[in-house]
Amino acid sequence: MLTIKRIPTLVSIYQDTVDRPGCERSCLGMCCIPGAKLPVYAFPGTSSKDHLSDSDDCIPDAGGDLFLNEVILAQWEERLSRGLFRYDVTTCETKVLPGDFGFIAQLNEGRHLKKRPTEFRVDQVLQPFDSKKFNFTKVGQEEVLFCFEMSTSEGSGYSERMVVGDSPNVVVINVSPIEYGHVLLVPKLQDCKPQRMDQESLRLAVNFAAEAKNSSFRVGYNSLGAFATINHLHFQAYYLAVPFPVERASVKKIASSKKPGGVKIFELTDYAVLGLVYESNGVLEELADCVSQACIALQDHNIPYNVLISDCGRRIFIFPQCFAEKQALGQVDPDILDTQVNPAVWEISGHIVLKRREDYESATETNAWRLLAEVSLSSERFTEVKEMCVNASLKEESASFQLELLEVEMKHFSPKVTSGKGNRIAAKGLLSDAFAEDCCA
């Protein structure tokens, strides 16, 4: 059995009190959830909004179309004002590292305070749910922002207090936020699913990304063995005003679906971590299904991976990774391990959350690249894994699998300073003004 020691992040204020017997509070367990009234956000069913076209601008326009975005922000700030977070992430120092890629370094000293290292098993991507360990049924209802359910009608809707079903999809705060608006989406929370990708849950996560209609808002997933710390199915999401470096990396088209949704599959060509990029301008459910098939193949083959959902759900990255395995085998340089950075989806995408001031002050693109290079599969191994993923994604149309070569030009972009304040402004829809105040920071 391969294990590594790491300091677990507290995602809930109740995580330290798992062993407390009985329930003296409003939690999300079956002791409290039947009959409970919670805020509910209903998103439109599949027919009405999954045909986003290329011209749909998902950058906020301050119009009346930012409903989910507004609900997330209003609720998140309300929890901030109630002091439910362990530290104020909006005051964390952040900078864009000089260089071609625009890696973003953040100093977050509050994230692992006063915790002892815990042993994590890293050689099993699929592990059964364990009700004795921390899971989201133990979260207090005050940490819930809202439930996220598919509407029976065409429009979106929101209710402050509604009796919820037996197992709602729940959006909760992360009490140790990485960035502004950091939340967790837990599909069918009371079903107590382990951290294991399935088709329905990825569709939900893509709907969450699409419904926010804000390109600063990304949704991420870490499998077990790829730095998920809680074995209860969940996605993460937050706002970051600038592009993630991986979103700007060059790609090469390797396959495409012949279905009407026209999912295209690319691979990254000049990034520190080898990965796949799935794109669609059509039916988001088809895109989600292609990606979930690849994820299921990865986890069935015990390959740890991370997923980034960007561009309002129209672009999804998959990164198979081997960092924890190398760490457990003693193959990672000690100076990289000394930083205690856990290369999960955000770090891999280029937002490096550093825990020590000296690492923050000496952070360079070269250091970021060195860390991420340890995450990546070798090119030989990636070639095998890539074929497995593409075949899984297009298995119903495998005859049409084809290698295509199409270089996509890197978008021009000048990295700017970002910060909690900038992300707050971007989240509220004033993207172009986001940096003016922060550039001197």
Rounded Cα distance between 324 and 315, Å, is 26
Query: Toward Zn ion, which CB reaches closer, 21 or 330?
Result: 21
The widest CA-to-CA distance across the chain, in whole angstroms, is 60
Q: How far is the CB of 143 from Zn ion (least distance, A)?
A: 13
CA-based nearest residue to 185, from 145, 132, 150: 145
Query: Toward Zn ion, which CB reaches closer, 29 or 45?
Result: 29
Residues contacting Zn ion: total by CB under 5 A = 5
Query: Toward Zn ion, which CB reaches closer, 32 or 126?
Result: 32
**Which residues are registered as beta bridge partners of 220?**
236, 308
Q: How far is the CB of 24 from Zn ion (least distance, A)?
A: 8
For position 192 contacting Zn ion by CB under 5 A, the verdict is: no
Q: How far is the CB of 175 from Zn ion (least distance, A)?
A: 18
Residue type, 290: C
- Is 234 marked active-site? yes
Q: How far is the CB of 74 from Zn ion (least distance, A)?
A: 26
**Which residues are registered as beta bridge partners of 98?**
none
Q: How far is the CB of 28 from Zn ion (least distance, A)?
A: 8
Query: Toward Zn ion, which CB reaches closer, 15 or 327?
Result: 15
What distance lies between CA 231 and its chain's CA centroid?
A: 15
In the set 182, 232, 234, 351, the catalytic residue is 234
CB-based burial label for 301 (10 Å; 0-12, 13-18, 19+)? middle
Q: Which residue is nearest to Zn ion (CB)?
A: 23
Q: How far is the CB of 233 from Zn ion (least distance, A)?
A: 20
Point out which span in 19-27, 400-408, 411-419, 427-435 binds Zn ion (CB under 5 A). Answer: 19-27
Query: Toward Zn ion, which CB reaches closer, 139 or 341?
Result: 139
Query: Toward Zn ion, which CB reaches closer, 136 or 266?
Result: 136
Q: How far is the CB of 84 from Zn ion (least distance, A)?
A: 18
Query: Toward Zn ion, which CB reaches closer, 32 or 337?
Result: 32
Contact pick of 23, 74, 163, 441 for Zn ion (by CB under 5 A): 23
- Residues 29-68 contacting Zn ion, CB under 5 A: 29, 31-32
Q: How far is the CB of 290 from Zn ion (least distance, A)?
A: 39
Rounded Cα distance between 278 and 362, Å, is 34
Query: Toward Zn ion, which CB reaches closer, 20 or 161?
Result: 20
Q: Number of C-alpha atoms within 13 angstroms, CB side, residue 398?
A: 7
Q: What is the CB neighbour count within 10 angstroms for residue 398?
A: 11
Point out which span in 22-30, 184-192, 279-287, 405-413 binds Zn ion (CB under 5 A). Answer: 22-30
Contact pick of 4, 27, 40, 377 for Zn ion (by CB under 5 A): 27
What residues make contact with Zn ion under the rule CB under 5 A? 23, 27, 29, 31-32
The catalytic residues are: 234
